[in-house]
Chain A
Amino acid sequence: MSETAHGGNPYKIYVWTWVALLIITGAMLGAESLPMPRWFMVVFLLAFMAVKAVMIGASFMHLKYEKTNLRVVVGVGLVVTTLILFFFIAPEAAHVREKSTIPMTAPAAAPAHH
């Protein structure tokens, strides 16, 4: 394993990653008490979520020591597929919402049967 080959404390990387993840989580939890627009807070949270995911993948799952093609298949594969899925269904969600908020008109009176 590369991280143990250079000497030093081999467990240090996990301690640092753990501390960094806790600090980021704390910042995410504290973000709502700050006066910032809703859209900015969402972007802030998504950015920190991505940072946490990369840290777990790279340090805990040792992806930073793997070959580039494995990293590409795992990272890009998952991210691109999720984005495609999301951006295909997001406009449909807006459409469904728009449709559900159109006021229903009273149905025309049915002709009387004799």
Chain B
Amino acid sequence: MSHGENAAVMEAHWGGGAAPFGASWQKTMMWIFIVTDGLLFSGLLCGYGFLRMASEAPWPDRAVVFKIWFIALMTFILISSSATMGSAVTAAKLGDKKKTTLFLVATILGAFAFLGCQAYEWTELIHHGARLTTNPWGAPQFGASFFILTGFHGSHVVSGATILIITLIRHLMGKTPAQGVEMAGLYWHFVDLVWVFIFTLFYLV
């Protein structure tokens, strides 16, 4: 391949232009946001890994601290809401307003169910003496790791629920195109994706 041909291929794949990623600017911006927000969580998870590995005191036994069946229920709710969100995006693309509304409502209900579960979990742990700097089960860093990781994720669930409610209202008013539902969906799936990592690294490992 000549230098000119090679440059042309590189330009086709990586060049600027109106849509370098073959996606609309809204979707490209949403992906850039997701990557940067993902880096925030990767930093938090690496920080948690550092604290756990550097901890002199034994890390609390998850089977003692958490009700694993309850965390599994929270995971089930979030995975299910992600499936309904994907269905809402597809329904919106197909122009099926009734199904879009139905799936968006189901996703919002899932978001609130998850938040309710998280509020219950936090209340239980605080009631048992867990704080940012101390806890009755072992390494003091556990409390900070738990509240910061799940708190940041929970704040994203709150944002996601807010975005979904706004999207639903605008959809009912006929103001949100299918792409608007898709953008809200990308954010909601990201919230689910982050939970996959928190669930495994914090609750299971």
Evaluate contact between B82 and A60: CB separation under 8 angstroms: yes
Evaluate contact between B79 and A25: CB separation under 8 angstroms: yes
Total chain A interface residues with beta-carbon distance under 8 A: 51
Q: Give 1 or 0 for each of B25-46: 1 = CB within 8 Å of chain A CB.
A: 0001001001100110011011
B20 within 8 A of A: yes
Other-chain contact of B20, A17, A69, A74, A82 (Cβ < 8 Å)? A69
B109 within 8 A of A: no
Most buried by A among B186, B201, B204: B204
Q: Give 1 or 0 for each of B130-143: 1 = CB within 8 Å of chain A CB.
A: 00000000000000
Other-chain contact of A45, B85, B87, B94, B205 (Cβ < 8 Å)? B205
Cα–Cα, bound, A93→B49 (Å): 9
**Tier of interface size on chain B:** 35 or more
Evaluate contact between B53 and A97: CB separation under 8 angstroms: yes
A35 within 8 A of B: no
Q: Give 1 or 0 for each of B179-198: 1 = CB within 8 Å of chain A CB.
A: 00000011001101100110
A90/B87 contact (C-beta < 8 A), A45-B200, A85-B46 known = no
Interface residues of A (CB under 8 A from B): 1, 3-4, 10-11, 13-15, 17-18, 21-22, 25, 28-29, 32, 42, 45-46, 48-49, 52-53, 56-57, 59-62, 66-70, 73-74, 77-78, 81-82, 85-86, 89-90, 92-94, 96-97, 100-101
13 A–B pairs (Cβ distance < 8 Å), ordered by A: A14-B84, A25-B199, A28-B200, A49-B196, A49-B201, A56-B82, A66-B23, A69-B13, A70-B28, A73-B21, A89-B46, A89-B49, A101-B56
